[in-house]
Amino acid sequence: MSATQQEIAQELVDDFSFFDDWKERYMYIIELGGRLPGLDSNDKTEANRVQGCTSNAWLVADVDTATSLITFRADSDSQIVRGLIAILLMFFSARSPAEIIDFDVTPYFHEMTLDKHLSRSRSNGLNFMIKKMKEMAVNCQNATG
C-alpha cells in the first residue's frame, strides 16, 4: 500500500528540517524538480497550461478507469517551479478524487517554510496549480459519480 498524504508530508517536513538555511532548501527543491520526468511537447499545449503561473507550467491528469485514481503529470520551464510541482505530485498524484480534494497542503508548506521564502508570484503560481489539481479531481468525481 502506498504512503498516505500525511506520511509523505511528514517525510518532506523532516527532509526540509535537515537543511540549515533556505539556500539549501531551495537547492533541494531544484533537485526534486530534476527528478521530474517532464512532459512531451505534445502535452505542452495552451489547454494544459496552468493559468496564473509567471513561468510556463503545464498539468495533465490521467484517470485510471478501473480504480478512478488520478495520476498527474506536469512540467515547467523554471527549475524551482519544477521542484514545487514535484512536491505537489508527491501529495496529489495516484490518489482518488476525494483524497485530492480533501487534502490541505497549507500546514505542511508552513512547516517547510515555503510560505515564507517563495516570492509572491511563485506562491500564487503554486496556489493556481493546487487549485487546478483540485478542479480536475472535482470534474473526475462528477463524471464518475
Q: Which residues are part of the catalytic machinery?
A: 53
CA distance 100 to 96: 6
User: Which helix (H) or strand (E) is 109 found in, with range?
Assistant: helix 106-111
Residues 86 and 33 sit within 8 Å (Cβ to Cβ): yes
Residues 88 and 104 sit within 8 Å (Cβ to Cβ): no
* 76: DSSP letter: E
Taking CA atoms, 97 is separated from 8, 123, 131, in Å, by 18, 24, 13
